A and B are shown apart, each in its own frame.
Chain A
Amino acid sequence: MITLNAISKGFTGLVGLAALATMSAPAAAQEVYEEPIELKNLQKGKVTLKQDKGYIFFDAAERTSLLFFRTPLEEDVRAYEAAWEEALVKAQEKYERHLRAYEAKAKRGNRVPDKPVEPTRETFSISDIETKLMVTVGPQYVFDKGKSADGTRFYQYLEEVEPGEYTYYGAIMFTDQGTLGACKCMGTFKFEVKAGEITSLGDFLNMSWADDAAMRKATPFWPDMPERVLKPTDWSIPESLNALPAAQAELHAVGKLNNFYRVIVSRMPEIDGVLRYERDTVIDVRAEIAAAEEAEALAKAEAEAEAAAAAAAAAQAQAEAEGEGETAAEVAEASEVEEEASSAPAPATEP
């Protein structure tokens, strides 16, 4: 059982945050499309899976609340900039009003409040663009829940989203008591969600695949963690979702992210073939592998080029050797001619 202390230290995978607090609406305004899908509604025909939407599926050991944000598209950034400009104008208007009130009070000699600070283009900002593109999955509206054959409980979630690239931000929940959970602010992953396809994270975020060495790098509090049973990730999806093709999420490393909600700071364990760390620096292992392959290909090309150059040099040497042979023959031939000439009778000289 994960304790409150464990959660406060941020080494929750996606464990039962929901058990701790009353849910409230996310504090961040949701400006990105998302729709939880429940099995019962799918079976009753109340909802259908759509070809033009993408689906994120995951399987949790307990009720949970996971945050993902979609990588901003150009139109998202344009909209964000427009919202920023609009908010700045409003903030400046508000500043003018407050400044007038402040000056009036100062003139009257009343109790003078702190002088308002003018918002400028350099200092003003609104909440980060990623918070506008957050998708919150769970803890309510599970796709399905129950007990596995081995007696363990499962909570499956299926979220209908716009196709795009999504980054896992952390197990975070907005509650009446505040924001709970931990961000993966110092190392996480992203994946592509394609239209008309179910992208499965399986039970990957239960972190059961991460051994002690991996967890040690993920949290300094690893010795306090409850006993864990290691098992490989099960990426499968329920048969009830056969209406659409499904694919295992292809994970890619993501660097550090700001702590948007002022929660516990943490990071993912290292993921084989995807993500590793050099101290706090996130290393993109896919890029590393690609670079190594590129270097190997170049080395091979270089070796081939050297071999080809050596072969060409050898051929040239042979050709030159053959060329020298011809010259010798010519010399020999010329010598014979000279000999013939010397043995011939000398021409008569003039008196």
Chain B
Amino acid sequence: MLSKQLLTLLLLPLAGVAHAQAIKNEPPMQTFTPEEIAAIEMPGLAFDTASVKAKDYEKYFYFHRPDTSFDQAYADVLECDSLSSGINFYRYADVSQYQVYNPNISPMAGAVGGAIGGILGSLIGDAIHGSAERRKRKRINIRNCMYYKGYDRYGLERSLWKAFHFEEGMGRKDEEIRIAALKQQARVASGPKPTTEVLVP
């Protein structure tokens, strides 16, 4: 006969089953100290909304989600940027089924902004696509990705947007510039709730 204590022990693993049902394959989240976060300049977001046409918000926008830490926001921004750029980001949830080391599944792939091979591989696919189309795709991808993550979208005036965003067509910005901008985006995404109107996703 099973004792109550034994049954309790048997039930313990179920606490972890809830996690097992979530298919998680993102690389480990980077953590930042309060000093490191404070050192990231908060960009200006105040502008006269009357001076901006609504259609400009199709291009110039940023994201915010209440009750979100900077670490989480940065992980989300980095993931969406990588996915939108065609950069290898995910470790495979079922990597164990592949059984062996896969050089493309480096845990560092996302942490450092993506492995080079990921860029090359995707460039083969659509090298002849125009730069404008690439930029448009990336905007849509960022919107899709951040929408899935539950972030709200807010419009911004162009010059303010350019201060902490970058656009990429056929090329890729310097990694330091990219990371600095992504950190600022995460700072905004995890910062005070914007006072302007939430846009459609």
Contacts and interface: CB of A to CB of B under 8 A. Distances in A.
Interface of A: 8-10, 27-28, 71-72, 74, 77-78, 80-81, 84, 119, 121-129, 131, 174, 176-179, 185-186, 219-221, 223, 253-267, 277-285, 287-288, 291, 294-295, 298, 301-302, 305-306, 308-309, 312
A89 B101 CA distance: 18
Contact of A123 (B115, B126, B136): B115
A259 B123 CA distance: 11
A290 to B, nearest CB: 9
Contact of A10 (B92, B94, B115, B144): B144
A283 B21 contact: yes
Nearest to A81: B100
Contact of A302 (B11, B23, B25, B98): B11
Q: Which 5 residue pairs spanning A and B have beta carbons closest together?
A: A125-B117, A255-B23, A220-B201, A262-B86, A127-B121
A209 to B, nearest CB: 21
Given A125-B116, A294-B17, A301-B2, A77 B98 contact: yes
A203 B145 CA distance: 27
B4 interface: yes
B200 interface: yes
B4 A309 contact: yes
B83 A259 contact: yes
A72 B102 CA distance: 11
A10 B102 CA distance: 30
Contacts of A266: 144
Contact of A178 (B94, B103, B126, B148): B126
A28 B124 CA distance: 8
A257 B2 contact: no
Nearest to A275: B23
A125 B126 contact: no
A305 B7 contact: yes
Contact of A27 (B14, B83, B117, B124): B124
B199 to A, nearest CB: 10
